[in-house]
């Protein structure tokens, strides 16, 4: 009797049902790949990881509840064998390196073709990093100690500060951000002050305007 080959189990984490459906349909074209679950929030994704034991997770940065980078860190800490690929519409120059530092092996823009999605999946499953040529060049430059003085101020923000900056752009108050991130209002206000300083904002109004403008351009 011929032993049936094990299909690679893939969990899709994205807050847009149409995006999940499109990714799942593309994956279904390959008999050695199998979608074992879909999630829209960080907590749903973590529960499905424990329940379905995927080989690979495809994760968006922006989730219905929670955040992709925090999910990556959580999975990397507690389920290190699970490989992770970020597929996102967010600015690659700002998020790709953060995703790699968090524990993902690859970053793919949603603007890329379906063929590149499969290429990225197979590369990550083989333990290889998958990023654009531009990101690769930046990583090489950083490794060589070369610093780009033209880098945007927003790149100085930590992952948590960037997440809070995005939520500010959505119009959320410190109290609502605190509830969503399970942090205290005092902690959020401290982060806001740090963000203001790093982005050279003179006051809260200027911070809000910058956050809204950035979100319009990048979300």
Which tokens hold the place of 82?
Answer: 């699970």
Indicate whether 137 and 169 sit together in one domain. no
Distance CA 55, CA 43 (A): 18
Residue ending a domain, choose from 142, 165, 196: 142
Q: Where are the alpha helices (DSSP H) in 144-184?
A: 159-169, 174-181
Indicate whether 178 and 81 sit together in one domain. no
Quick one: average pLDDT of 76-97? 89
Q: For residue 63, is it within any domain?
A: yes
pLDDT at 3 over 80: no
CA dihedral 51, 115, 134, 12 (to 10 degrees): -20
pTM over 0.85? The answer is no
Indicate whether 128 and 43 sit together in one domain. yes
Average model confidence (pLDDT) across the chain: 88
For residue 213, the enclosing domain spans 153-218
Indicate whether 126 and 210 sit together in one domain. no
Q: For residue 24, is it within any domain?
A: yes
- Tens of pLDDT, residue by residue over 197-216, are 999 999 999 999 988 888 87
Distance CA 216, CA 211 (A): 9
Domain CATH number, residue 176: 1.10.10.10
Indicate whether 136 and 167 sit together in one domain. no
Residue ending a domain, choose from 123, 142, 161: 142
Indicate whether 125 and 202 sit together in one domain. no
Indicate whether 101 and 174 sit together in one domain. no
Quick one: average pLDDT of 74-82? 93
The total number of residues shown for the chain amounts to 219
CA 200 and chain centroid, separation: 26
**Total count of domains within the chain:** 2
pLDDT tier, 143 (very low <50, low <70, confident <90, very high otherwise): low
Domain CATH number, residue 76: 3.40.50.2300
Side-chain half-sphere exposure of 207, counting CA atoms within 13 A: 26
């Amino acid at each position: 009797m011929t032993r049936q080959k094990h299909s690679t189990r893939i969990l899709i984490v994205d807050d847009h049902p149409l995006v999940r459906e499109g990714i799942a349909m593309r994956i279904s074209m390959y008999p050695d790949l199998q979608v074992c679950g879909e999630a829209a929030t960080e907590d749903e994704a973590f529960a499905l990881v424990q329940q379905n034991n995927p080989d690979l997770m495809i994760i968006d940065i922006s989730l219905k509840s929670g955040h992709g980078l925090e999910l990556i860190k959580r999975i990397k800490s507690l389920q290190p064998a699970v490989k992770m690929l970020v597929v996102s519409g967010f600015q690659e120059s700002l998020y790709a390196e953060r995703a790699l530092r968090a524990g993902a092996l690859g970053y793919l823009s949603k603007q890329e073709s379906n063929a590149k999605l499969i290429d990225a999946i197979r590369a990550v499953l083989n333990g290889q990093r998958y990023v654009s040529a531009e990101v690769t060049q930046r990583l090489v430059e950083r490794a060589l100690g070369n610093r780009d003085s033209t880098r945007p101020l927003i790149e100085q923000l930590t992952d948590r500060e960037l997440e809070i900056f995005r939520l500010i752009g959505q119009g959320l108050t410190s109290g609502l951000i605190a509830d969503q991130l399970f942090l205290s209002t005092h902690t959020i206000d401290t982060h806001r002050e740090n963000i203001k300083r790093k982005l050279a904002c003179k006051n809260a109004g200027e911070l809000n305007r910058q956050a809204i403008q950035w979100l319009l351009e990048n979300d």
